[in-house]
Amino acid sequence: MGKARAARKLAAVAALGGGGAGVLGGTLVAILIAEAILAKRTIGPPDGDPPCADGIYGEGPGEPISFVVLGDSTACGLGVKEPDETPGALLATGLAALSGRPVRLTVVAKSGAETRHLDEQIDRALPVHPDLALIIIGANDVTHRTLPSESVRLLVHGVRRLRDAGAEVVVGTCPDLGTVEPLAFPLRQLARAWSRRLAAAQTIACVEAGARTVSLGSLLGPEFAAAPRELFSSDRFHPSATGYASAAVALLPSIAAALGYWPEDESDVSLSDGEILPISFAAVRAAKDAGTEVAATEVAGAERGPRGRWALLRRRRHRDVPLDERQLSPEPKSA
């Protein structure tokens, strides 16, 4: 209950535009930063820039679905060599297969981006008139001393801009940085606490703003903790091609459902099948369980209960979607 109350308070501070206090306190933040510098030396710089994956994926009748990806290095696929290994390309391919329509992918995410950079990314995304937007951001806020309340406020502002432009929005919440292998005690514990609380606050605020959220949990799935050398890239921080594929499997059902290409009925969900909770409790639960979707819902016709907005917490059953049959157009964006 304490964690749910803390996440709810942080989201409320962000909504009011206040600075708020860091969830870990000034002394612990200083420790986190100092240890992060040492960890960065161990991790080393990423191997090159992320490949450009913009283009048309799939075939079918009608206008292409306009799909934009915003956020940081995880969003743009840093750590892989080929465009079709990036999360945007994998998701565009899967969405094309499920919808029977071509998908135009535009990636405006940038390595190193913090939430304060989201506004300028949206400026570049709006001219392509997105039908669907995926945002993955927040990890760099943890290591750059951004107040969590400010990070959440900026994220919500971005979600509302995209929603006002007519886009469906899915937010992959801040991953659990406690799973990054080079991080040692106490940094790992501090990073886990900070990132999980930020993820919970992101969930509360973004669902209130009209988005769906999907928990990226232990760096996009529990498999990362079990097989870090297979699912992380050579820099030991960003996912490998296999890691991004694991992330795409977790995100695709919610991406497709946002546009009506995945069933919403409860017979298609697992976990505590379609469990309804107050948003703050759902957010804390999701932050610990990778691949969990949180979306707004109603109870007896009411959007809100005594503890805030009602939310539906669920994990969707995965289907066989041909993520490996990628069809990238040679004509980026204009086809």
**Dist. CA 153–CA 319, nearest whole Å:** 35
Q: Are 206 and 155 in contact (CB under 8 A)?
A: yes
**Residue 235 known to be catalytic:** yes
Of residues 73, 111, 218, 233, which has the active-site annotation? 73
**Which position has the token pair 């969707």?**
316
Q: Cβ distance 106 to 68 under 8 Å?
A: yes
Catalytic residue from among 144, 157, 235, 268: 235
Rounded Cα gap, residues 6 and 197, in angstroms: 8
Crossing angle of helices 148-164/187-208, nearest 10°? 30
Q: Which residues contact 333 (CB under 8 A, 6 or more apart)?
A: 54, 55, 104, 106, 128
User: What three-state secondary structure class fits 45?
Assistant: coil
Buried b (16+ CB within 10 A) or exposed e, 96-119: bbbbebbbbbbbbbbbebbbbbbe
174 and 205 Cβ atoms separated by less than 8 Å: no
Catalytic annotation, pick one of 117, 238, 240, 280: 238
For 206-247, give the DSSP string: HHHTT-EEE--TTTTSTHHHH-HHHHB-TTSSSB-HHHHHHH
Which residue carries 């992959």 as its tokens?
172
Q: Is 265 one of the catalytic residues? A: no
Phi, psi for residue 299 in degrees, rounded to 5: -125, 120
Helix (H) and strand (E) counts for the chain?
A: 12, 10
Q: Is 73 a catalytic residue?
A: yes
What DSSP designation does 175 have?
P
d(CA 184, CA 36): 10
The answer to whether 243 and 89 are in contact (CB under 8 A) is: no
Contact (CB, 8 A) for 42 and 80: no
Strand 304-305 to 132-136 pairing = unpaired
Q: List, by residue number, the catalytic residues.
A: 73, 235, 238
